[in-house]
Amino acid sequence: MTKKIAFQGEPGAFSHAAAANLFPGEEVVGCVTFEETINAVQSGRADYAVVPVENSLYGRITDIHHLLPASGLYIIGETYLRVEMNLLGVPGAALEDIEAVQSLSVALGQCRKFIADHGLRTINAVDTAGSAREIAQKGDRKVAAIASRFAAEIYGLTVLASNIEDAEHNTTRFLVLSPSPQEAPADNGKVKTTFVFRVRNVPAALYKAMGGFATNGVNMTKLESYMVGGAFTATQFYADIEGHPSDRAVQLAFEELGFFTDHFRILGVYPAAEDR
């Protein structure tokens, strides 16, 4: 039976490309917002969701860190997508014709040097794929979009310049979300465990809570903090570690963490991506 995979954005978005890579041949469901993407899985309209969680240039995707812990969904996988920005024009257009470029503000910001070198006027838009669609519909040779090759194929645009981003390491990490846990086995390759926690209101609680990971040799690959409930005193932490909850070292680290926290929840235990 064909699975339905939700992603945020229009056809041709980088999230669409990530979903297609992870679930080739399955049906994809574009959503306007991250909330709608998560709700598609919660309501059963989609089997899984593929959402970005961090970018090597932009940093963390704040909305996901706030939405995921309260969503009731589980992380069952991850992938890394090299984000290659391309200048897309209507058929027949040439680079010399372009006077303005349209895209998501983040994408425009990642291509500042190319835009400045060619003296292009910028047009802010909602997303990259939507910009490609609008450029194709307008048919103006003087205006181009910054988007993926995937978007060029979908909307029949021509790639006028490839890989125009300022930094070659521009990569986005995506998570696969499921309505039910699908815990990776402990003895079949590298595993990541993602969890959230809140420390008790005692001196040096975070320092002491982290001590268990260091003393037990557990590698923490991500630690993010953010406020919850609009209170400056209520801070939640989002963390990734390398290891499985059944590993003895991880068990000891979690046991020590428990002494200094008043909330702890595992969001997923999943295979670490090989294409990091």
* Rounded Cα–Cα distance for residues 266 and 50 (Å): 19
Q: Are residues 78 and 92 in the same domain?
A: no
Ranking 22-31, 93-102, 149-158, 197-206 by mean pLDDT, the lowest is: 197-206
Residue 263's CATH number: 3.30.70.260
Question: What type of residue is 155?
Answer: Y
Report the pLDDT value the prediction gives residue 15, as an integer from 0 to 100: 94
* Rounded Cα–Cα distance for residues 184 and 54 (Å): 22
Q: Are residues 174 and 204 in the same domain?
A: no
Q: Are residues 174 and 57 in the same domain?
A: yes
For the question of whether the overall pTM of this predicted structure is more than 0.75, the answer is yes
Active site residue 172: yes
User: What range defines the domain where residue 139 resides?
Assistant: 86-161
* Rounded Cα–Cα distance for residues 243 and 186 (Å): 8
Mean pLDDT, range 73-81, rounded to an integer:
96
- Are 131 and 104 in contact by the 8 Å Cβ rule? The answer is yes
Which residue is catalytic, options 37, 79, 172, 193? Answer: 172
- Are 4 and 26 in contact by the 8 Å Cβ rule? The answer is yes
183 located within any domain: no
Residue 138's CATH number: 3.40.190.10
Active site residue 254: no
Q: In the chain, pLDDT over 70 holds for what percent of residues?
A: 97
Q: Are residues 97 and 231 in the same domain?
A: no
- Specify the number of domains making up the chain: 3
Q: 225-239: per-residue pLDDT in tens?
A: 877 766 555 678 999
Q: 126-184: per-residue pLDDT in tens?
A: 889 999 999 999 999 999 999 999 999 999 999 999 999 988 888 999 999 999 999 99
Report the pLDDT value the prediction gives residue 4, as an integer from 0 to 100: 97
Which residue is catalytic, options 174, 197, 237, 254? Answer: 174
Q: Are residues 90 and 62 in the same domain?
A: no
